[in-house]
Every structure is written in C-alpha cells, then in structure tokens.
Structure 1
Amino acid sequence: MAAKLLFPRVHIQNFSEASAVEPHWGYADRVVPCTNDKGSCEYLDTVYKSHDLGMYYTGIFWATIGSILVVWAIGRHFMQSQPSGVQLPTEAGEGVKEKGSAWARLQKALSVYARQCLLPDAARPIFGRVTRTQVLTLVVLTSYLTLWSFIGITYKTWVTPVKKMPGVYNTRTGLGPWSDRVGVLAYALTPLSVLLSSRESILSLVTGLPYQSFMFLHRWLGYIIFAQSALHTIGWCIVEIKLYQPQPTIGLEWIVQTYMIWGLVAMILLTLLVILSTPWAIRLTGYEFFRKSHYVLAMIYIGGCWGHWEQLKVFLLPGLIVWLIDRAIRFGRTALLHYNFLPSGHMGFRAAPANITFFKDETNGDVVRLDFDHPQDAWDVGQHFYLMFPESSIWQSHPFTPLSQPVYGADTQRHSYIFRAKKGETKKIAELSEKRSARMKDHEESHEGLMPDARLSTVLTGPYGERTMRDLPTDSNILCIAGGTGITYVLPVLLDLASRPQSVDRHMSLIWVIRRRGDIDWVAPELAILKRKCPNLRARIHIYVTRAIEDVDPSVPAKSEKAIANNCATEIEPASTSQSSSSRASLSSAISLHGVSKAELGLNHYQARPALNSLVPEFIANTVMGRTDVFASGPGEMISELRSIVAAANKGGEVWRGEDRFDVRLTCDDRLEW
C-alpha cells in the first residue's frame, strides 16, 4: 500500500527488488539498495542528499530568524533600562546634559550615521515610498535565500538508458534537485509571510515595531515565494517534458498525477494573489475586494500546497494556526472592548454611539468628525483603532488615529476621529452623516417632533501601532508636521506634552498644512487647548493654507496676515472677558496663519506651502539642548521629503562630540487615508 502511494513521486526506484525503506523527512521514502543503472543510482543519491541538506538549511534559516529576534528583544530591554543622560542644573538655572560615556556616545553616533544613510526613500519606481532600511532588510533576506538555494547542489549531468527501449536515453541533471530546493524554501517562507501580515503581531511584541512596518517585507516576500514557485514549476516542466524520455508519453503521464494537479492549482492561485496585490489591481478592484480575496486565495493556496506536497505540511500548518490565532484575538478584543452595560441594566455587546460633525467639501471630499465616550483603559499616544460601522457594513473596518488625548486612570475615554470621505465605505459614511446632520439642523429650526438621531454606531478594535511617547526623553525638542487629516496623528503628541511639566529648554512647534481656512474647524477644540498652553510650553502653531483663494471674496479688501492670525485665534478660542490684554496678545502670537493675504504683497495667487527644507533645519538650529523628534503624517510626497531632510540633519560626528541637537529622529504615520 505504501509503495503504491509513493509510486507517483519515485517512479525511477525499483520497489520490487528493494530490501528496505529509508525515510527522509519532508520527502518520499527511498528504497535501498538501488538496483537501477549506475547513473540513475548516482542521480538518486544526489536528489536525496540535496533534499536533506535543504531541510537542514531551512532549519538554519529559521534558527537565524529566531536568534535575531532573541538578540533584538534582549538589546531592546537593556536599551530601555539605560538612562539617556544626566541633566545637571547650572547657576543660571538652565539644564546642561552630560556627554555620557564614550560607549554611550558611540552607540548614539552609530545610530545617527545609520539614520543619515538609511532613512531616505529607496528606488521609488521599484519599491514605492519606503526607506532604505526596509530595502536593505529585503536585500539581506534575498541574498541569504539565494545562498541556500545553490549550496549543496551537485552540478552534473547523467545520461541513462530507458529500460526496454534501446537507443532511448534520459538526461538527468542538477536541475531537478535545485528545483526541489527552491520549492522547499518557498514552503519554509510561508509561515514567515503570515507572521509579517498579522495585525496581532508576535513580531511587534518582540521588536517593538508596529505591525504596519512589516507590510513592505510581507509584500516582497510574497514576490519571492512566487519567483521560487515559478522557478520550481519551470524547472520540473523542463525535466519531465524535455529531459525525460520518451516524449510525449512521460510528460502526459506526469501532468495528470494528483500531486501535479494540486501543484498547478497552487501556482494559479499564487499568480492571482500576486496580480491582485499590485497597486494598479487594487485601484481597479478596490481595497476591500483585494483584502477579502487575499484572505480567501491565501487559505486555498495553502491547501493546494498541502495537496501538492503533504510531506512539507510542517511549514503549512503553522501558517494556518498563526492566521486563525490572529483572527481569534481580533474577535476577542472587539468583544471585550464592547462588553458593557446595556440600557436595560444587563451586560452585553454594545456599539459606541458617536456624535457626528459634518464638514461639506465638494471639491476635495467631505470630512466627518466623530466624538464619543467609551468605557475602557487608556491607549498610548500614536496608536490607532480599527473602526467598523454596522449601519453601513459589518464586513469592513478602517484604521483611524484618535485625535483625543487618552487619560490614564480614567474609567471612560474620549474618542475623537476625523476622516475625509473619498470613496467606498467612508463615502457611504459621509453620505449617512450628511443626512443625519441635515435632519438635526432642520429639527433645530422647526422645533417640532422628537429629536432625530444624529449619532452613528461604531465598533472598535484595538489599539494597534507604535507608542510614540513611551521612550521620549524629557529634554527632546518636538516638531510636529501634518497635512490635512494627518493632524490626528501629531496633535495628540502636543496635547499629551501640554498636560505634563516641561523643561524650560524644550522647544515645540506644529506645522499644519490645510487646503482652506475653514479646515481649522475640524480640530478647533483641541487647538484651543494648545493655544492656552502655548506660552507656557514655549510652543508655536503654524497653519499654512494652500488654497486660500477659494475662501477669499474678491469684493472684500484683503486683510493683513496679522489681522488674519488674530481672527483665527478668535475663531479657535473666543477671548474671555477675564483675560488681560497682554494674555490675549500672547495667545494670538502663539498661532500664525500663512497664505491668506499674499495679494497684498503684489503676488497673483493666494497659495502658501511650507518650505520644509528650511523650516526643519531652522527649528533644529534654534534648540538649546537635547535631540529633536519630528512627528509627521500626511501625503506621501511630504513624508518622502521629510525623510531626506531629517536624514541630512543627522550628523554622527557632532553627536559623538556631545552635540545632541544633530540627533534628529523621524516618526511618521504614512498609512494611506481611507
């Protein structure tokens, strides 16, 4: 029975004359002794030896990954436990930071040198908007896999006679063992690919990196698996259809075997996975179709691989288990987050009712703000939640960063989100919000009937992502840069710092680029809080309006920038009657609005965009002490520009000499807006 099951895979072995069976892990058993011709026996020796070495190499590969993660975790633990430096007071009352030990300065200088070289974007036409660090990781991984693909293969040709067919010969080469090797490596990479795509990421727990930072490697690892699978398929097609004789008999008998049918199914599914994951396919079909089809095709692909080569299920089963665990944890976290008291007084699942604020924008897409209170523990600044809206669809959820500041120790947390509706789910939510806001407005004007429902049911999953404030030194200078709705990522950083005692030497600044002056209303309550704190925080808020001409009435005389800034201050926070004139002046000076009154300067446009290549170095030059942390969120062009600017601002030699101002770090949220 065993011989019959193995026969399709080991057709050149003679089972009838064998005296023993030799097991090989991950491969078909070998019968011994070999009673074929000398060339065929040597070829079989090569096949099994190459496979056994390949299995050892996959073990070494996973041992290397495990060792890297262990070393990373240990190093991360010790780096977090070491103080960044000692701040000593001077007679003038200003802090002076010690240079620290030579070892500490060397570590810092090396990280600065690495940031200077690896932070900018890599080849954008090929890899997109990713840093050189990510591409370097991909190159190292690809080189490592290439090394294991060719080592231990016997590069030789054997010409062997075909039994009972005089004058007909088979050509056996190292192509078969090499094709098996790349196929084994493709199987071995499957669980790693699943790990890299998990939202409940084990890798994030070990490394501290947010799960989305692994998506680039997940995508390109999929391309590597596709290339390996294609080479494996092409290699064996050449062997079975060209090198083995007689043809086409051998080829036709080979292609109809069950394992080959499953192999073709797996290859077709993998090809569809790659095609549907390309940027043009995602734009054509929509992100939600891509995401759902990706899940389904990936699971069926793993099943196809199982049917093709069951002996290597040791690599397939962990991938399925990791995926199922990820799904179960997501479901469990959502259930626990919404398991609260119901209006009836009983406990059960309850969605969070969010108040809607609607901002109409027919040109660029409407903007929706959601505000609600929810009983839960505080998240960390920088983290985000996935929001699902049951009234629209229970099959879609989207990541949004809370605009509000988490309050540690509070039983209930305030959630505030803003997002721009473009298409798909967010477009439907915007249309629903517009209708409910309109009904609410009509009710307020008529004062008739019951109050209409102007809320939207929301289901949360999370939090996810990095914790931007956890390892932030007390003396670091903060520069926040945002474009449009990217303000939700950077504003909580300033709100969190505004609630803490600050060093007198710390500098903070916010640069926010918006299309219209009315966009300030999105976050007016939060800006009002910052404005009150600005004089004490030694912070400035700079707002750049890029399409101010759309807000200007030509019949109204142009105002000066100072007048506009004062008006903006009034819009954000009406002056209290209890405030002194000097206090109101300081509040107004804390915020500046750019790009409104350019016509007064004789220019023929009203646009103003921040020159980041000069603003960032200027901010760094004006700092007193400590490093600079730049937090940014916005369009891809802005993030790419900032990476180059921040990389150029890093100077390892100056940091080695104790000049921490040249230690500039960038933390950005470059996820696409939904």
Structure 2
Amino acid sequence: MKDRLINLFARVGYQSQDISQSTTVPYWGYAVRVVPCANDAGTCEYFEAVYGGHERSMLYSGILWATIGGILLIWAILRHAYATPLAAAHTGSEKAPKARSTGFRIRRAIGAATRQYLLPQSLRSIFGRTTRLQILVLVIFTGYLTIWSFVGITYKAWRTPVKGYDNLYQTRSGLGPWSDRVGVIAYALTPFSVMLASRESILSQLTGIPYQNFNFLHRWLGYIIFVQSLLHTIGWTLIEAVYYQPQPQVANKWIAQLYMIWGCVAMILLLLLFVLSTPWAIRLTGYEFFRKSHYVLAMVYIGACWGHWEPLKAFLVPGLALWFVDRLIRAIRSGLIHYQFLPDGSMGFKTADAVATLFPDSENGDIVRLDYRHPQSPWNPGQHFYLCFTQASIWQSHPFTPLSLPVEKDGTVLHSYIFRAKKGETRKVAKQVASKLSTTEGNTAVTTPVVMQGPYGENLVSDLTPDVNVLCVAGGTGITYVLPVLLWLQRQAPSADRKISLVWAVRHHKDVEWVKPELEQLRSAASTHGLTISIFVTQDQETTSSQASDSEHSANEEKGSATRIRASRTDTHTSGRPDVGAVVPAFVNDVVRGRTVVVASGPGSMLSNIHTEVAKLNSGGKVYRGDERFDVELKCDDRLEW
C-alpha cells in the first residue's frame, strides 16, 4: 500500500516527503493528498493550486455533462409537446384552409428562418459538405469547452529550491493544473464521443435526429479530444523534462513509470485514430479498413487511458459499456428479424433469399437489384437497413434504403434494393451474381442470401399532411431514397392543389429499367395526384419521350442546362443535367398553397446546390404573415454516390 501511495505522489510532482508522519486525503479522480504539507512554502502553495484545480475540473466535468443532459431532456420534452401529428385522411373537399394559430405560425417562421441562414453549406475546404447549422453547433460546443478549459486555474509561477542541491531551483506554474484540466475534459468527453458514433443511438431516441447526422460532431469531437490530449502531453513534458530539476534525472525517472508508458501508448493510438479518420486517409485505405481499424484502435485506446490514469475510470467505463451495448443491440435486432420458421418446421436463424437481377454497366459499375419478401413489421418510408451478403463476407454490412413501400401483405413485407457495384463488397456481390447467371441458361435473376439489421433513419412521411407539396430530386441510385415517399403519396387520397414532382438524373436511358415496376405504379397516379415525372439523361445524346403525344413543352420552364418537359400522364426523358437552381424555385413558385418538402438524394455537388436553393426560398417573415410557400424543408440523404 505504501509503495502504491508513493507511486501516486510521484505522479503529481512530490520530490520528497515523509508520509509516515502525515495524513492522506483521497481525491476523486486524482492522487491522494498528504496533509499537512512538509515542503517549502512555494511547493505547498503549488500543491494547493493543483488539488484545488483538480476539484474544479471534476466539478466542471459534471456541469458539462449536466448541460448535455439538460439540453437533451428539454429537446425531448419539446419534441413530444410540439410533434406534428399526421392529418386525418383528406376527404377531397375544396374547403379553404383554416387560419393558422399564432403559435403555429411562430414555430413555422422560426424553422423557415433557421433554414434560410443555416441550411447552406459553408467552409467546405475545412468541413466538407456540412451545413452552417452543424458548424454553428460545433463552434458553440468548442467555445463552451474552451471556457471550462481555462476558468478556475491559478495562473502563477513558483520558483522553489531542489532539496539536496545548492543553487538549483525548479519552476512550478499554472501549466500543471491547466494540463490536468484539459486531460480531465478529454476523459470526460470519451463516452459522449461513443454516443455520437452509436448506431443504436440514445441521442436519436431523444431528439429524433437520425444517428448518421451525429457523425460530423463525432468526428470533430475526436479531433478536439486529440488536441486536448496533445496539449496535456506537451504541458507535462515541459514540466517534467524542462521545468523540474535536476535534469535529465527527473525526466528519465518520469518517463520510465508504468503510467507514463501507458500514456505514451494512448497518445500514439489517438494519433493513429486521428490520421486514419482524415478524408485523404479514408480514400487511400478504403472505408472498410477505416471502420474496422477505428473500432479496434478506439477500444485499445480506452484501455490505454485506463492504464495511464485509472482514477478517472468513471469516464472510461461508460464509454466501453456504451460500445458493447450498441453491439449487443445490433446483434439482437438482427437475430429477431431472422428468427423464423426453418424448412423442417423448427424455429431458428434463417437468412433472406434475395432474388438478384444484374444490370451490366462496364463503364460506371454494374447495378444489382435485390427483391425478396420477409416476415416482419413494416418500417417507415425513408428508413434504411444494413445488409450483410453472407456469400461475400460475414464481417461486413452496408446501409441500403429499400425502394419498395413497406406494406405488410400475408404477414410479409417486400424488400427491394438497388446499388452500384463499384468496388469492395458490392463488387464481390455483382461478380457472384454474374457468375451464377452465366451457369443458368435462360434465367435473368438468381438468389443470394442476405442478413439484415435495422431499420434505421427518419420517417420521411411523418409530417406530409395533405396540404404539403413534395418535390423529389434524385441522382442515379439515389432514387431509392425518394421512391418510397412517392409510392406512399400515391396510396393517399388525392389532395386538391397539391403538387408532387419527381426529377431523376441518370446516365443512360436504359437506367430507368432499374425501377421499372415502381415507375409504372407512379405513372398510374400522374393524373389523379398531380404527379409529374422528369427524367434527365446526362450521357446519351438522344432525347426521347415515352409518350410524346401526351407531353406539352412549357416555354417558361426552359432554364438551365436542359429543358424540362412536363408530362400529364407519363414521364419524359430530357438530355442534360437538371439545373436544380431552376428546378427547385420553379416548383415552389408554382405552388398554389401550402408549404413544400424537398426530398433529395444523389451526388454531393447536386445536394450542395439543393441546400443553397432551399435556403434561398425560405423566409421567416413571410411565413409568419401567412405565406406558407416560403416554408420549404429539405430532407436529404447524402450517403449515396452515383
């Protein structure tokens, strides 16, 4: 016990003191303190600053977590109190809309004003395709952490004699307590970082925000923890290797201690986590390597932090627990989905046998479509599942949004997916499908086993009341994100004056075959639901219309790089890329009444432009005065590239 105490004392700079004649006072998260102090006056005053600073560090960490918890609690309460219920089924009557209450208009005006100023993407060279709102949250959070990093520190220097040496002095200063402070905050933020990265996210349950929207803050919080840990390391290296005397004896003894060895290991692991999480490193090594290495390095890093400073394990245990609970819930959810009747009549784990159809594209990557029915409860349109293709690898899963409408029929729900097989796991699946097709003469589709996990994500139709206009914009395989919304709208009763439109950009005319059954369904609703479908073909030179006799050219819609052809009962193919800078405003300006929801998915450049255009169309003042056309919401899925 005595040896352990001496080891703890050495960590906080005790040079020499007879602890047998003193009393030890425990400190939560720190080394015990010897009282009364038997060193010189300067050293004793310094220890008072160190221990007092640590007490405040633990207090501020508690305030930090109380603030996070308070914000989440208030958010959850307000979300429940002001949740917008789905309107009753529309009767088709032509009654004028009821006047909105003042409270309703204020809430809508605040939302519109927020989107007007905070929806555009800014500082993309630093943050990537990130909205101003996300950047603002990061700036506020960083400022809040900065305040707690500097307040309550005794900023003073003490020059104290070294026992046993004549005319040799060491410098003690506020650098010690400050270095401890940033280290404590880095530990305190560890469980929050894990929460932000969890797929089974308690944050999503409280706020309603999909888990993937927290990835930006998770990444930058990791950078903050790295900077804090680096400053903590630099601070104590200066203290032990420069300011404490005599040198190099003090530095050599310090770095050889076990807790310092673990500290060096933790810093190296954190450096690797930082480097491997940068965009260029992910592009260089591949996303799957990043994901797997990130898991392993993060868990080993937390263990190294435990070895470095075990008294602060109160912050490390929750981080580990959250990670393991997240993994456990994932496994349980997947097990429940696949716990089905087996062919022999017993119950057990059964994969879903998906019918795979291949659409060859040697230039851009083959397209694979999967279709299967599975006994389960319907999910919400817009949600996605993680699919594991067991014949390729059981260690990887990828997120895919079902393009099918989740409707239960005879106890099962239809799953339909399309994805482009560029490289990695999806490429393996495409090759396996092609190989199977080559050995089955006359067949155009084969089966492949799939394991699901989910659903995850937001419900895109939760607030699509009959007076809401809907514009869906998709690029390539991003059509899977918007199709469930359109298919859901098709099943609702028609609403007078409502506008519904689909703008889809593909490379070739033949690409519409990916979702031919779903497009046929939508065509049947074109006349009854006021639905228009515009398909832009970006690479084929020829422009065709599926039913030219039913198409009308609109001169005032000739904007951007392509002319939009509006069809009354069918879809049209138009050469060129859709100019979202013209498409989005044209749709909103043509709205008769009600607000608009833009649902978009596709390449990053297109989504960035949509963010900008939707922001321009919002106006809090006009919405408050009753003009709901300027209340334009964006629901965006930027995970897909085409």
Name the TM-score class by shorter chain. over 0.9
What do you get for the CA RMSD once the two structures are aligned?
2.1
**Could you say if the C-alpha distance between residues 58 and 237 of structure 1 is closer, same or farther in structure 2, counting changes exceeding 3 Å?**
same
Deviations 1:156-179 (A, max 9, x none): 010000001010001001001000
In 2, Cα distance between equivalents of 1:281 and 1:344: 49
Q: Is the 8 A contact 1:18 1:34 kept in 2?
A: no
Question: Shift of the alpha carbon at 1:589?
Answer: 3.7
Among 9, 12, 29, which residue is 2:11 paired with?
Answer: 9
Tell me which amino acid in the other structure corresponds to 1:650.
Answer: N
Q: Aligned residues, how many?
A: 625
Q: Is the 8 A contact 2:182 2:231 kept in 1?
A: yes
Indicate yes or no: 2:363 matched with 1:346: no
Indicate yes or no: 2:79 matched with 1:76: yes
Deviations 1:233-275 (A, max 9, x none): 0000000000001111111110000100000000000000011
In 1, Cα distance between equivalents of 2:86 and 2:335: 39
Secondary structure of the corresponding residue to residue 525 of structure 2 = helix
Structure-2 residue corresponding to 1:571: none
In 1, Cα distance between equivalents of 2:550 and 2:476: 21
Structure-2 residue corresponding to 1:256: 256
Secondary structure of the corresponding residue to residue 454 of structure 1 = strand
Among 569, 573, 583, which residue is 1:593 paired with?
Answer: 573
Secondary structure of the corresponding residue to residue 362 of structure 1 = coil
Structure-2 residue corresponding to 1:212: 212
Alignment of 1:307-322 (within 5 A): 307-322=307-322
Structure-2 residue corresponding to 1:359: 359
Tell me which amino acid in the other structure corresponds to 2:75.
Answer: W
Question: Shift of the alpha carbon at 1:504?
Answer: 1.3
Question: Shift of the alpha carbon at 1:561?
Answer: 4.3
**Could you say if the C-alpha distance between residues 475 and 18 of structure 1 is closer, same or farther in structure 2, counting changes exceeding 3 Å?**
farther
In 2, Cα distance between equivalents of 1:334 and 1:106: 42
Q: Is the 8 A contact 1:18 1:33 kept in 2?
A: no
Structure-2 residue corresponding to 1:668: 636
Alignment of 1:9-28 (within 5 A): 9-10=11-12, 11-12=14-15, 14-16=17-19, 18-28=21-31
In 2, Cα distance between equivalents of 1:432 and 1:83: 44
Secondary structure of the corresponding residue to residue 506 of structure 1 = coil
Q: Is the 8 A contact 1:113 1:651 kept in 2?
A: yes
Indicate yes or no: 2:471 matched with 1:479: yes
Tell me which amino acid in the other structure corresponds to 2:296.
Answer: V
**Could you say if the C-alpha distance between residues 369 and 411 of structure 1 is closer, same or farther in structure 2, counting changes exceeding 3 Å?**
same
In 1, Cα distance between equivalents of 2:10 and 2:124: 47
Secondary structure of the corresponding residue to residue 80 of structure 1 = coil
**Could you say if the C-alpha distance between residues 474 and 88 of structure 1 is closer, same or farther in structure 2, counting changes exceeding 3 Å?**
closer
In 2, Cα distance between equivalents of 1:230 and 1:636: 33
Indicate yes or no: 2:279 matched with 1:279: yes
Structure-2 residue corresponding to 1:577: none
Structure-1 residue corresponding to 2:557: none
**Could you say if the C-alpha distance between residues 563 and 316 of structure 1 is closer, same or farther in structure 2, counting changes exceeding 3 Å?**
closer
Alignment of 1:114-263 (within 5 A): 114-263=114-263
Q: Is the 8 A contact 1:88 1:98 kept in 2?
A: no
Q: Is the 8 A contact 1:385 1:460 kept in 2?
A: yes
In 1, Cα distance between equivalents of 2:394 and 2:86: 47
Tell me which amino acid in the other structure corresponds to 1:45.
Answer: E
Among 474, 478, 484, which residue is 1:492 paired with?
Answer: 484
In 2, Cα distance between equivalents of 1:644 and 1:160: 61
Structure-2 residue corresponding to 1:305: 305
Deviations 1:442-492 (A, max 9, x none): 245xxxxxxx99210100000001111112222100000000000000011
Tell me which amino acid in the other structure corresponds to 1:51.
Answer: H
In 2, Cα distance between equivalents of 1:84 and 1:114: 25
Tell me which amino acid in the other structure corresponds to 1:136.
Answer: L
**Could you say if the C-alpha distance between residues 667 and 82 of structure 1 is closer, same or farther in structure 2, counting changes exceeding 3 Å?**
closer
**Could you say if the C-alpha distance between residues 562 and 268 of structure 1 is closer, same or farther in structure 2, counting changes exceeding 3 Å?**
closer
Secondary structure of the corresponding residue to residue 311 of structure 2 = helix
Question: Shift of the alpha carbon at 1:115?
Answer: 0.7
Question: Shift of the alpha carbon at 1:56?
Answer: 0.3
In 2, Cα distance between equivalents of 1:377 and 1:518: 34
In 2, Cα distance between equivalents of 1:361 and 1:86: 43
**Could you say if the C-alpha distance between residues 201 and 235 of structure 1 is closer, same or farther in structure 2, counting changes exceeding 3 Å?**
same
Among 622, 629, 643, which residue is 2:597 paired with?
Answer: 629
Tell me which amino acid in the other structure corresponds to 1:662.
Answer: F
Among 63, 66, 77, which residue is 2:66 paired with?
Answer: 63
Question: Shift of the alpha carbon at 1:565?
Answer: 4.9
Indicate yes or no: 2:531 matched with 1:531: no
Indicate yes or no: 2:450 matched with 1:470: no
In 2, Cα distance between equivalents of 1:566 and 1:289: 53
**Could you say if the C-alpha distance between residues 485 and 527 of structure 1 is closer, same or farther in structure 2, counting changes exceeding 3 Å?**
same
Tell me which amino acid in the other structure corresponds to 2:616.
Answer: A
In 1, Cα distance between equivalents of 2:270 and 2:380: 38
In 1, Cα distance between equivalents of 2:475 and 2:66: 43
Q: Is the 8 A contact 1:120 1:132 kept in 2?
A: yes
Q: Is the 8 A contact 2:57 2:181 kept in 1?
A: yes
Question: Shift of the alpha carbon at 1:651?
Answer: 1.1
Percent identity, aligned pairs only, is 56
Deviations 1:60-105 (A, max 9, x none): 000000000000000000111678999999xxx5342234222321
Question: Shift of the alpha carbon at 1:14?
Answer: 1.8
Deviations 1:10-63 (A, max 9, x none): 433624364311111110010100010000000000000001001000000000
In 1, Cα distance between equivalents of 2:358 and 2:573: 24
Secondary structure of the corresponding residue to residue 624 of structure 1 = coil
Question: Shift of the alpha carbon at 1:660?
Answer: 0.5
In 2, Cα distance between equivalents of 1:99 and 1:82: 17
Question: Shift of the alpha carbon at 1:6?
Answer: 2.2
Deviations 1:196-228 (A, max 9, x none): 000000000000000000000000000000000
In 2, Cα distance between equivalents of 1:51 and 1:280: 38
> 216-225 or 452-461, which moves further after superposition?
452-461
In 2, Cα distance between equivalents of 1:661 and 1:326: 42
In 1, Cα distance between equivalents of 2:534 and 2:405: 21
Structure-2 residue corresponding to 1:447: none
In 2, Cα distance between equivalents of 1:170 and 1:74: 55
Secondary structure of the corresponding residue to residue 466 of structure 1 = coil
Tell me which amino acid in the other structure corresponds to 1:510.
Answer: L
Question: Shift of the alpha carbon at 1:593?
Answer: 1.3
In 2, Cα distance between equivalents of 1:659 and 1:88: 24
**Could you say if the C-alpha distance between residues 5 and 161 of structure 1 is closer, same or farther in structure 2, counting changes exceeding 3 Å?**
closer
**Could you say if the C-alpha distance between residues 565 and 46 of structure 1 is closer, same or farther in structure 2, counting changes exceeding 3 Å?**
farther
Structure 2: give runs of 5+ residues left out of the alignment. 552-565
Tell me which amino acid in the other structure corresponds to 1:663.
Answer: D
Secondary structure of the corresponding residue to residue 343 of structure 2 = coil
Q: Is the 8 A contact 1:121 1:643 kept in 2?
A: yes
Structure 1: give runs of 5+ residues left out of the alignment. 445-451, 553-559, 569-585, 596-607
In 2, Cα distance between equivalents of 1:565 and 1:15: 97
Question: Shift of the alpha carbon at 1:409?
Answer: 7.1
Deviations 1:596-642 (A, max 9, x none): xxxxxxxxxxxx11111111111111111110000000000011000
**Could you say if the C-alpha distance between residues 250 and 384 of structure 1 is closer, same or farther in structure 2, counting changes exceeding 3 Å?**
same
Structure-2 residue corresponding to 1:448: none
In 1, Cα distance between equivalents of 2:87 and 2:373: 37
Tell me which amino acid in the other structure corresponds to 1:525.
Answer: P
Structure-2 residue corresponding to 1:618: 586
Q: Is the 8 A contact 1:357 1:437 kept in 2?
A: no
In 2, Cα distance between equivalents of 1:118 and 1:313: 38
Structure-2 residue corresponding to 1:48: 51
Structure-2 residue corresponding to 1:581: none
**Could you say if the C-alpha distance between residues 516 and 561 of structure 1 is closer, same or farther in structure 2, counting changes exceeding 3 Å?**
closer
